[in-house]
Structure 1
Amino acid sequence: MLPRLNRQHVVNHPALGISEDHFQYPEKVLQFGTGVLLRGLVDYLVDKANKKGLFSGRIVVIKSTEGEAGAFAAQDGLFTTHIKGVAQGKPVDQYLVNASISRVLQSNAEWEAILETVAQPALEIIVSNTTEVGIQYVEEDIAAGVPASYPGKLLALLYERYRRFNGDPGKGFVIIPTELVVDNGQLLQEIVLKLAAFNKLPEEFVSWIKTANRFCSSLVDRIVPGKPKNLSECWKEAGYEDELWIDAEPFLLWAIEGDAAVAEKLSFQQADERMLIAPSITPYREQKLRILNGSHTAAVCLGYLSGLNTVYECMQDAFMNNFFKKAVMEEILPTLSALGPQTARFAQDVLDRFANPSIEHKLLSITFQTSSKMNARNVQTILRYHDAKGLLPESICLGFAATLLFLKPAQEVNGKFKGERKGEYYGINDDNAAVFAKYWQAVSSPEYAEVAAMVNAVCGDRKLWETDLAKLPGFTDAVAGHLTGMMKHGVKAYIANYSRVI
């Protein structure tokens, strides 16, 4: 029988890189959430720094839901991160035991203990990932018990910290939300201040929130699938059982808006160059939106309608692999040169991530709100490419046409539209589905004239694209040509016989 991962096990196995000293480090980070993203990103970076002697601090975790806290206690906060995939064209397969978590406290059952954590002078950093819904304003009395919302809990802890240290301006926190919301740090601060006003807290405390604390917006990017399906096999290979095991891809990015003072407190960032602290994180948000998200959106409907089901399958298909490479390296990347030289490496990292066999990213799930995503992620790329070269990005034009075909309804039931692939129906989960259904009513046959008229009307709809794409020279002709060909011959046959289009 295999032993359970715990403190004794790692101390007795020096090769794991964890000594008894690691368990004596003070708590420097307060973390809201035990989710796999935080464990695979923030906790990974803290642990990496500790093993390099760059931070010497641990994480106390607040968990709002029941479950798993017992597993952390049973394993002394330890868990395995299995990093596998492709990085810079080379396979990666690495097991790491993480010793960054000191304890996990359940907010409802252990609120008094949570309040005590902020009495520790060494505690200087607060991170969170409570999902996008977590950063919302909820009117509540923070003195009436355990606050329900994350901003409510945060305000209560800030007030406790303020009282414990008599408003010492040197005892504020660096507060970093990782929720996928633009300007998440600024939004969180605004909500906390609004909630402080609702609770009629002292003006001196409100001033302390503003001057002694730093709310830093951040951008996170790492796919952390969580527990593998073959967990028991992983245990055998590692030589121990671990109920908290997580898988993670090799790539990571954590960009934080801050200055030298923020960087000084976040000293664990020295352990990994992919944790970035910069005056603005807009360039990193832009490169992710255009390259990773944009190429996904350009390719997803084309890949799905051609009979493929995951991003990995696309990268194993000769045509779709070439589509991704051309879209990323030749069409999107040239429009982002102003963002700096790191963008080219990010582009290659994206292609490596798409080719990771360990990640099952279903194409149909990516089609959610595909028309809005096409507008937000690719329309500006199309326009910039044309402005710079006087040409159209051929791959993205083909992807745009496939998106229109994906949005062609084959069935409507109770206001819900469904498309058809190989005789099977799929859901069209798009707020603009009815709009596209109306445009498609004008097409009774796959004849170019009918299709082109519909494409011209769609491209000219400013509500969809925030610009008149019909005025872009050659765009509607290119899209209509692809769309007609796919309708007449089928998507798979069209891209097989007309591969010259990319």
Structure 2
Amino acid sequence: MLPILNKEFILNQQDSDVHENYFTLPEKILQFGTGVLLRGLVDYLVDKANRQGRYEGRIVVVKSTPGDTREFAAQDNLFTTHIKGIHQGKLVDSSGVNPVISRVLQSNAEWPAVLAAARQPTVQTIISNTTEVGIQYVPEQIGATAPASFPGKLLAVLWERYQHLGGATGTGFVIVPTELVTNNGRLLRETILQLAAFNKMAAAFITWIQEDNHFCNSLVDRIVPGRPRNLPEIAQKVGYTDQLWIEVEPFLLWAIEGDAYIRSVLSFCEADDRMLITPDITPFREQKLRILNGGHTISVPLAYLLGCNTVYECMQDAYMGRFFREVILQEILPTITAACPTAAAFAQDVLDRFANPFIAHQLISITFQESTKMNARNARTFVRYYEQTGTLPAHMCLGFAAMLLFLRPVREENGKYYGRREAGEYLITDDNASQFAAYWQQYTTLPALVQQVCSDERLWEARLADIPGFTAQVATYLEAFMENGVKAVTEQWYQTK
């Protein structure tokens, strides 16, 4: 029977790089969330900084979701991080044990311990990842037990800190939410102040929240698939069992809005130049939205209709691999390079990430809310490209036509719409599905259909129909798809391109 990863086991390994002194470092961070993203990004960076002697601190983790913390306790909160993927065209495959978590506290069962952790002067940072819906205002009274919402818990923690340390200057926290919400720090601050007002809390306390606590907008980017399916096989290979083992891609980005003070508190940022503290994270949000997300959205309907099922399959396909590279590098990237100085390097990283053989990113899942994503991620790119070049982005026009075909329903059942590709039917998971179904049902000619769709101001933040030649080009591609099939058109398109 294989041993379990824990403190005794790892310290007895002759080749271990986890040393006894790591377990005596002071607690400096209160982390809301036990999820794989936090462990694969935040906890990874803190551990990396500790090993370089740049931070020397550990993390108290608060588990807010139901369930106990026995998995963590059984392993003395140790877990393995396995980095697998492609970086600069080369395969990366390495792993290491992370000892950065000191305790994992269940918020409901151990709320007094959570409050006690917040009283420690060494704890200066709060980090969270409670999903996008976590930062929402819930009117609730702050009392002796754990509040239900994350903002409620955070407000209770701030109140405990304020009371214990007397509200003195310099006793507040640097608070960094990592939820995937635009301006997440500002939104969390506004929610906390709204909840404090609902609870009629002291004016001096509210002033302390506003003036002595720093709520930072942040952007995180790292794919963390989590625990692998073949964990028993891995355990045999490494010689121990680890139920908390996580896999991560080589790429990471954590951009935080902040100044020199924020940098001094989050000094673990010095361990990795991919953790950035900057006055404005807008360029990083823009490059992620346009290149990574926009590259997915413009390419996936075409790839799915061609028969691909994962992003990795696309990168191995003769046509889609080329499509992904060209649409990103030749059409999307030039529209944001001036505003985003790091966009070119980011685009190359994105292509490496798409080619990661260890991540099976399903195309059908990426098509969730396809039309809404097309609007948010690509509508302005179409406009910018034409304004800059006076021509149309050919790949993007082809991808847009494929999106229209993907959203064409072949049947409706109980309010759900289904499309069809050669391999069979698929569910169209798009809130605008009925709208597109109506257009497909009512159209007289394909050019008329495209014109109507592109003129619908409910769908697009930029009037796509006003781009000279756009609807005609999209209609030409759409007609070709319907007459000759997606595969034949794509093959011919690349042969004549």
TM-score range, shorter chain: over 0.9
Q: 2:261 — aligned with what? A: 261
2:205 and 2:62 mapped to 1: Cα distance? 24
The answer on whether the counterparts of 1:394 and 1:501 sit within 8 Å (CA) in structure 2 is no
The answer on whether the counterparts of 1:461 and 1:467 sit within 8 Å (CA) in structure 2 is no
Which contiguous aligned blocks of 4+ residues in structure 1 show a shift greater than 4 angstroms?
none
The answer on whether the counterparts of 2:45 and 2:269 sit within 8 Å (CA) in structure 1 is yes
How far is the alpha carbon of 1:18 from its aligned partner? Answer: 1.3
How far is the alpha carbon of 1:41 from its aligned partner? Answer: 0.4
Q: Encode CA deviations 1:219-269: one digit per residue, 9 max, x unaligned.
A: 000000011111112112222110100000000110001000000000000
Q: For residue 328 of structure 1, give the secondary structure of its aligned residue in structure 2.
A: helix
2:218 and 2:185 mapped to 1: Cα distance? 7
Counterpart code for 1:456: Q
1:69 and 1:226 mapped to 2: Cα distance? 17
2:435 and 2:120 mapped to 1: Cα distance? 57
Counterpart code for 1:497: Q
The answer on whether the counterparts of 1:460 and 1:467 sit within 8 Å (CA) in structure 2 is no
Q: For residue 176 of structure 2, give the secondary structure of its aligned residue in structure 1.
A: strand
Q: 1:447 — aligned with what? A: none
Q: 1:211 — aligned with what? A: 211
Match of 2:486 among 487, 491, 494: 491
How far is the alpha carbon of 1:415 from its aligned partner? Answer: 2.0
2:304 is the alignment partner of 1:309: no
Q: 2:424 — aligned with what? A: 424
1:467 and 1:121 mapped to 2: Cα distance? 50
How far is the alpha carbon of 1:423 from its aligned partner? Answer: 6.0
1:126 and 1:41 mapped to 2: Cα distance? 15
The alpha-carbon distance between structure 1 residues 16 and 482, as it changes in their structure 2 partners (threshold 3 A), is farther
Aligned residue-pair number: 497
2:16 and 2:486 mapped to 1: Cα distance? 50
Mean Cα deviation higher: 134-143 or 229-238: 229-238
Identity of aligned residues (%): 60
* 5+ residue gaps, structure 1: 445-449
How far is the alpha carbon of 1:497 from its aligned partner? Answer: 2.6
Q: 2:155 — aligned with what? A: 155
Written as runs of structure 1 = structure 2, the 5 A alignment for 1:366-385 is 366-385=366-385
How far is the alpha carbon of 1:438 from its aligned partner? Answer: 1.3
Q: 2:442 — aligned with what? A: 442
Mean Cα deviation higher: 338-347 or 481-490: 338-347
Q: For residue 336 of structure 2, give the secondary structure of its aligned residue in structure 1.
A: helix
1:197 and 1:90 mapped to 2: Cα distance? 54
Q: 2:387 — aligned with what? A: 387
Q: Encode CA deviations 1:407-460: one digit per residue, 9 max, x unaligned.
A: 11100112221111126221111111111111112347xxxxx21121122112
Q: Encode CA deviations 1:279-323: one digit per residue, 9 max, x unaligned.
A: 011000000000000010000100001111111110010100000
Counterpart code for 1:29: I
Written as runs of structure 1 = structure 2, the 5 A alignment for 1:33-432 is 33-67=33-67, 69-422=69-422, 424-432=424-432
Counterpart code for 1:306: L
Q: For residue 441 of structure 1, give the secondary structure of its aligned residue in structure 2.
A: helix
Q: For residue 338 of structure 1, give the secondary structure of its aligned residue in structure 2.
A: coil
The alpha-carbon distance between structure 1 residues 357 and 423, as it changes in their structure 2 partners (threshold 3 A), is closer
How far is the alpha carbon of 1:339 from its aligned partner? Answer: 2.7
Counterpart code for 2:464: L
Counterpart code for 2:493: Y
Match of 2:472 among 477, 488, 493: 477
1:422 and 1:374 mapped to 2: Cα distance? 24
1:215 and 1:164 mapped to 2: Cα distance? 21
Counterpart code for 1:138: V
1:82 and 1:144 mapped to 2: Cα distance? 40
1:345 and 1:163 mapped to 2: Cα distance? 47
2:304 and 2:18 mapped to 1: Cα distance? 45
1:233 and 1:495 mapped to 2: Cα distance? 41
1:319 and 1:202 mapped to 2: Cα distance? 63
The answer on whether the counterparts of 1:16 and 1:96 sit within 8 Å (CA) in structure 2 is no
2:50 and 2:188 mapped to 1: Cα distance? 29
How far is the alpha carbon of 1:490 from its aligned partner? Answer: 1.3
The answer on whether the counterparts of 2:383 and 2:462 sit within 8 Å (CA) in structure 1 is no
The answer on whether the counterparts of 1:217 and 1:256 sit within 8 Å (CA) in structure 2 is yes
Written as runs of structure 1 = structure 2, the 5 A alignment for 1:447-462 is 450-462=445-457
Question: TM-score, normalized by length of structure 2?
Answer: 0.98
Q: For residue 152 of structure 2, give the secondary structure of its aligned residue in structure 1.
A: helix
Q: For residue 209 of structure 1, give the secondary structure of its aligned residue in structure 2.
A: helix
Q: Encode CA deviations 1:321-350: one digit per residue, 9 max, x unaligned.
A: 000000111111111122343111100000
Counterpart code for 2:473: A
Q: Encode CA deviations 1:157-185: one digit per residue, 9 max, x unaligned.
A: 10000011111111110000000111000
Q: Encode CA deviations 1:191-222: one digit per residue, 9 max, x unaligned.
A: 11111111111111100001111000100000
Q: For residue 235 of structure 1, give the secondary structure of its aligned residue in structure 2.
A: helix
1:443 and 1:143 mapped to 2: Cα distance? 60
Q: For residue 97 of structure 1, give the secondary structure of its aligned residue in structure 2.
A: strand
The answer on whether the counterparts of 2:287 and 2:340 sit within 8 Å (CA) in structure 1 is no
The answer on whether the counterparts of 2:380 and 2:462 sit within 8 Å (CA) in structure 1 is no
Mean Cα deviation higher: 388-397 or 66-75: 66-75
Mean Cα deviation higher: 321-330 or 451-460: 451-460
Q: For residue 356 of structure 1, give the secondary structure of its aligned residue in structure 2.
A: coil
Counterpart code for 2:208: W
2:223 and 2:107 mapped to 1: Cα distance? 27
Q: For residue 339 of structure 1, give the secondary structure of its aligned residue in structure 2.
A: coil
Q: For residue 175 of structure 2, give the secondary structure of its aligned residue in structure 1.
A: strand
1:127 and 1:2 mapped to 2: Cα distance? 35
Counterpart code for 2:196: A
